[in-house]
Amino acid sequence: MENLTVIVLAAGGGTRMRSKTMKVLHPVGGRSMVGHVLTAVRAMEPQRIVAVVGNQREQVGAHIQELVPHALLAVQEKQEGTAHAVRVALEAAGPTTGTVIVAAGDTPLLEGESLRAFAAEHEAAQRAVSILTGLLAEPFGYGRIVRTAEGDVEAIVEEKDATDEQRAIREISSGILAFDAEFLTEALGRIGNDNAKGEYYLTDTVRIAREAGLTVGAHTITDVTQTEGANDRVQLAHLGRLLNDRIVTRWMREGVTVMDPATTWIDADVVLGQDATILPGTQLLGATVVGEDAVVGPDTTLKDCEVGAGARVVRTHAELAVIGEGATVGPFSFLRPGTRLGAEGKIGTFVETKNAVIGVGAKVPHLSYVGDAEIGEGTNIGAGTIFANYDGVAKHRTTVGRHARTGSNNTFVAPVTIGDGAGTAGGTVVRRDVPPGALAVSSGPQRNIEDWAERKRPGTPQAAAAAGRPAGERQVDPGVGTPPSGETQS
């Protein structure tokens, strides 16, 4: 929108959060609360974004500029109310014309389309002030919209300053306002702090505009939950559930099967392909991407992962991993950052991987640790294999070539290379490179010690079985004999 300035208020301390983290930085749906607001604001394509910071300004300001590098930061040294914050913002922005939108930084359900509709109505009506309002059955804590007998907006009265009659009003101010910039600049200098909290209220601009005979109006939003803020962790969890319900519903309507929406969590930046299936107990977090026809879950957590089309991931925890098309992972797999599984490959039951590239069609089926490794196309890693990548000082890398076949219970002591088409025998500890096509064997020849069970484990079920007797039969010393009936042998 042309000549539009948006001010985002993010200076408050949020003491009711009882947290070392600033309120607007608390995450919900994979983004900070202020991150959601900035996403909605950017959808308007404003000319300028000004963020007012105060408490923990270093952390909050850095986070905002990471998300919106061109945003201006205005520092409110002392929090003296919303009008004071907006005055600080305009001082930082310099001469401002056109439309100014003021939004709170703790309303994570806010959507860009709603802001655009609000701003468009404000400009079309050529108002001095517009208020984004909503109707609430329980309006406690919100400023009330007071209207004249003709229905015009007369004032916004804060909860602590409202009469009993005014507290009964169900139409509330969301705290999101639109202004003519020239009017706002002039009105800010006329706002006092004679109220219950001793603060400078931005809502006093309504009274100033009315006294000047200027137009004041309201834009009532149908989905009032978009304007809800979170002052404590209970409210934050409530908004998180609402946001997740909306995200899950949107993906189902776009062709994704979600078997149990109540136990499925999907962050705001996740992308899902058509005909993907998400099974119960699944969390898709961060910037995870799931391809078409893939099946994820049940009981799976993926953070910042990429899952290829047609892949299958079951009972798995993964972070910063790439799973190729048609590949299978799990159950009970742990994919750590840097894991890349090729198309049609497999990471199986009780396998942990880290910084590992596993080629097309390669398999690590069972009970293995693969760290700092590269496994070639079509290779199969035997059960119980350990890639020993750490020598106590530094990490080293293991390379296994194409179409190799390694035995069970192997240990690869990095750095080591196993050539294309090579093999390793069961129980082998590989300490030196294995040439292509060779078989590595490190264990000695087998030696059998005859009658060991009867000599070393006499009187046990093992010894009885070895002698061909029933496991429960008692062995009697031939020199003692069988005791007479009714007597016991000591």
pLDDT at residue 472, rounded to an integer: 65
Distance CA 116, CA 216 (A): 18
Say whether 257-440 and 4-227 share the same fold. no
Quick check: 268 and 285 in contact, CB under 8 A?
A: no
Is 36 a residue of the active site? no
Q: Report the candidate in 132, 157, 166, 163 with the shortest Cα–Cα distance to residue 207.
A: 157
pLDDT at residue 484, rounded to an integer: 46
What is the CATH number that goes with domain 257-440?
2.160.10.10
Distance CA 143, CA 159 (A): 5
Q: Can you give the residue ranges of every domain in the chain? A: 4-227, 257-440
Q: Which residue has the tokens 């005859």?
A: 450
Distance CA 13, CA 146 (A): 29
Quick check: 130 and 117 in contact, CB under 8 A?
A: no
Quick check: 225 and 242 in contact, CB under 8 A?
A: yes
Beta strands in 159-207 (DSSP E): 171-180
- Tokens standing for residue 213: 């005979």
Report the interhelical angle of 181-188 vs 82-93 (nearest 10°). Answer: 120
Q: Which residue has the tokens 């079309």?
A: 124
Distance CA 339, CA 356 (A): 5
**Active-site residue, selected from the candidate residues 63, 70, 366, 396:** 366
- Taking the CA of residue 332 as centre, how many other CA atoms within 13 Å lie in the half-sphere pointing to its CB? 7
pTM of the full predicted structure? 0.89
Q: Which residue has the tokens 């929090």?
A: 79
Quick check: 74 and 54 in contact, CB under 8 A?
A: no
List, as one string, the DSSP characters of 403-421: T-EE-SS-EEESSEEE-TT
pLDDT at residue 138, rounded to an integer: 87
Residue by residue, pLDDT tens for the chain (490 residues) are: 679 999 999 998 888 999 999 999 999 999 999 999 999 999 999 999 999 999 899 999 999 999 999 999 999 999 899 999 999 999 999 999 999 999 999 999 999 999 999 999 999 999 999 999 999 988 988 889 999 888 889 988 888 889 999 999 999 999 999 999 999 999 999 999 887 788 899 989 999 999 999 999 999 999 999 999 999 999 999 999 999 999 999 999 999 999 999 999 999 999 999 999 999 999 999 999 999 999 999 999 999 999 999 999 999 999 999 999 999 999 999 999 999 999 999 999 999 999 999 999 999 999 999 999 999 999 999 999 999 999 999 999 999 999 999 999 999 999 999 999 999 999 999 999 999 999 999 988 888 999 999 999 999 999 999 998 887 655 555 544 444 444 444 3
Residues across the chain: 490
The domain 4-227 having CATH identifier 3.30.1360.120: the answer here is no
